[in-house]
């Protein structure tokens, strides 16, 4: 894949699955394409204890990476209190900047819903103790998700609705709780992204952050499409342009706001010497 020209200014990808097996053979090239496209920092997602350990180890090797530590609702059935000390150790590491990916997923139901709710509350408790923000997942579980989160919101050090794909009703509820909103290439899908495309203009600029969720969610309107159909962080400028167009905003200004928001939210160091290429 040839990275598209950045041209939008420094960007932070707040959600990328760099430990996914699809990146095993060419991770260095993926990171270089991201750099060339203007991506100055990436948050590597943890979705299980094993995955969170791998994400933290990867992040520890590269100052342009940080990571999260948590249990995705798909893996909630295998999560219990015996794993909490390991997560607490992870969250004490400087490269681990948030708890998650955690939440509820009633769309696939790969774990019992009761287990999902229990795992979610345990991780919210963990976030309160660690004083770190939460990286949140919700799909087809809005009411239960909101009911649980509402009890914790006053005690949390922030939260971001990762890969938000919903509409105005859900957006307003999350904004009322003080959440930030992470937008992916789902916004580029005219088939499934209609509700999201309608909601995007109503996200306050100081709550908006950008992400690819790579290797998932390759933008549907990308031309030409990579032969592998794999998404990667170098494509984040494409997502930024799509969002700016929907909001009738200048793309570099939107990119600058997202990057500023991500630095503040995750407590990332600002490096005045960063000079992204693109």
Domain of 147, CATH number, reads 3.20.20.140
Q: Could you read off the pLDDT of 115-150 as tens digits, one per residue?
A: 999 999 999 999 999 999 999 999 999 999 999 999
pLDDT tier for residue 225 given thresholds of 50, 70 and 90:
confident
Q: What is the DSSP string of 135-189?
A: EEEEES-HHHHHHHHHHHGGGSS-EEETT----HHHHHHHHHTT-EEEE-GGGG-
Residue 216 lies in a domain: yes
Residue 217 lies in a domain: yes
Residue 274 lies in a domain: no
Q: Could you read off the pLDDT of 27-75 as tens digits, one per residue?
A: 999 999 999 999 999 999 999 999 999 999 999 999 999 999 999 999 9
Per-residue pLDDT at 272:
41
Summarize the confidence of residues 229-235 as an average pLDDT: 96
Taking a C-beta distance cutoff of 8 angstroms, is the pair 42, 16 a contact? yes
Residue 272 lies in a domain: no
**Of the listed ranges 9-23, 142-156, 216-230, the one predicted with least confidence:** 216-230
Residue 260 lies in a domain: yes
Q: Which of 174, 47, 140 lies closest to 99, judged by CA?
A: 47
Residue 271 lies in a domain: no
Question: Angle between the 236-247 and 251-266 helix axes, to the nearest 10 degrees?
Answer: 110
Length of the chain: 278
pLDDT at 270 over 50: yes
pLDDT at 162 over 60: yes
Per-residue pLDDT at 269:
77
Q: pTM (2 decimals)?
A: 0.94
Per-residue pLDDT at 71:
98
Question: Angle between the 113-130 and 84-91 helix axes, to the nearest 10 degrees?
Answer: 40
Residue 188 lies in a domain: yes
Per-residue pLDDT at 83:
97
Summarize the confidence of residues 236-253 as an average pLDDT: 97
Per-residue pLDDT at 6:
53
pLDDT at 277 over 60: no
The beta-strand segments (E) located in the chain are: 11-16, 39-44, 65-69, 96-105, 134-139, 159-161, 180-183, 208-210
Q: Could you read off the pLDDT of 186-200 as tens digits, one per residue?
A: 999 989 999 999 999
Q: CB neighbours of 168 closer than 8 A, spacing ≥ 6?
A: 195, 198, 199, 202
User: What 8-state DSSP symbol labels residue 12?
Assistant: E
Q: What are the angstrom distances between the C-alpha of 77 and each of 8, 82, 114, 157, 219?
A: 42, 13, 9, 26, 31
In this predicted model, which residue has the larger pLDDT, 115 or 277? 115
Summarize the confidence of residues 86-97 as an average pLDDT: 97
**Of the listed ranges 7-11, 18-22, 107-111, the one predicted with least confidence:** 7-11
User: What 8-state DSSP symbol labels residue 13?
Assistant: E
pLDDT at 3 over 80: no
- 3-state class of 43 per DSSP? strand
Other beta carbons within 10 angstroms of residue 174's beta carbon come to 26
Q: Provide the residue range defining the domain that includes 151.
A: 11-266
Give the mean pLDDT of the chain: 94
pLDDT at 223 over 60: yes
pLDDT at 202 over 70: yes
Residue 278 lies in a domain: no
Distance between CA 45 and CA 94 in Å, rounded? 15
Tokens of 87: 């997560």
Summarize the confidence of residues 160-187 as an average pLDDT: 97
User: What 8-state DSSP symbol labels residue 20?
Assistant: S
Domains of the chain: total: 1
């Amino acid at each position: 894949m040839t990275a598209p020209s950045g041209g939008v200014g420094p960007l932070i990808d707040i959600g990328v699955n760099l430990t996914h097996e699809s990146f095993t053979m060419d991770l260095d090239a993926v990171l270089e394409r991201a750099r060339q496209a203007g991506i100055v920092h990436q948050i590597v997602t943890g979705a299980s204890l094993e995955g969170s350990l791998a994400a933290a180890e990867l992040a520890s090797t590269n100052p342009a990476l940080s990571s999260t530590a948590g249990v995705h609702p798909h893996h909630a059935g295998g999560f219990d209190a015996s794993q909490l000390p390991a997560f607490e150790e992870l969250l004490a590491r400087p490269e681990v900047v948030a708890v998650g990916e955690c939440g509820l997923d009633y769309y696939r139901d790969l774990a019992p819903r009761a287990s999902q709710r229990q795992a979610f509350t345990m991780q919210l408790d963990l976030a309160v103790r660690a004083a770190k923000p939460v990286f949140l997942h919700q799909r087809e579980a809005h009411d239960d998700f909101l009911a649980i989160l509402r009890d914790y919101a006053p005690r949390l050090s922030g939260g971001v609705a990762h890969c938000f794909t919903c509409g105005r009703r859900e957006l307003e509820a999350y904004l009322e709780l003080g959440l930030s909103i992470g937008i992916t290439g789902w916004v580029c899908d005219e088939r499934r992204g209609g509700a999201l495309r309608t909601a995007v203009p109503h996200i306050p600029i100081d709550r908006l952050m950008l992400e690819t969720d790579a290797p998932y969610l390759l933008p549907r309107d990308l031309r030409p499409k990579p032969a592998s159909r794999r998404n990667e962080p170098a494509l984040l400028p494409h997502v930024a342009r799509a969002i700016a167009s929907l909001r009738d905003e200048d793309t570099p200004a939107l990119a600058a706001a997202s990057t500023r928001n991500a630095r503040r939210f995750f407590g990332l160091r600002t490096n005045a010497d960063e000079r992204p290429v693109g």
